[in-house]
Amino acid sequence: MEYSWVRAIQGKEDIVVQFADYHTLDKVKSLSNTFRTEIIDFLETNVDEIKDELVSVPWDKEVLYTRDEILHHIIAHEIHHIGQLSVWARELKLSPISANFIGRKLKSIHSY
């Protein structure tokens, strides 16, 4: 869903992924890498210049969103996913994933 939002910000048509086509971890990783490349290319543009522009999304034609609102929504939703993974990890008796950004030594967007 986050990918759909990013495509909407760019004015691109949504791509509906058929989840049955991604039944192995390798296929999911490949799809993720494909999406990541497009998202990084977009984020490397000057997003600040377009943050107040309005966007219509195909699944909610009645409401317009600013690109800035959408980016904040995507960030919040990703944090939600981190929480989900933490719950599942605990259920599997594994160490939960940290929700902290600071100290995680995540790669800079420019390192991809």
81 is in an annotated binding site: yes
80 is in an annotated binding site: no
Q: What is the torsion angle, in degrees rounded to the nearest 10, for the CA atoms of residue 48, residue 49, residue 52 and residue 58?
A: -90
Binding residues for a divalent metal cation, by number, are 77, 81
Binding residues, by number, are 77, 81
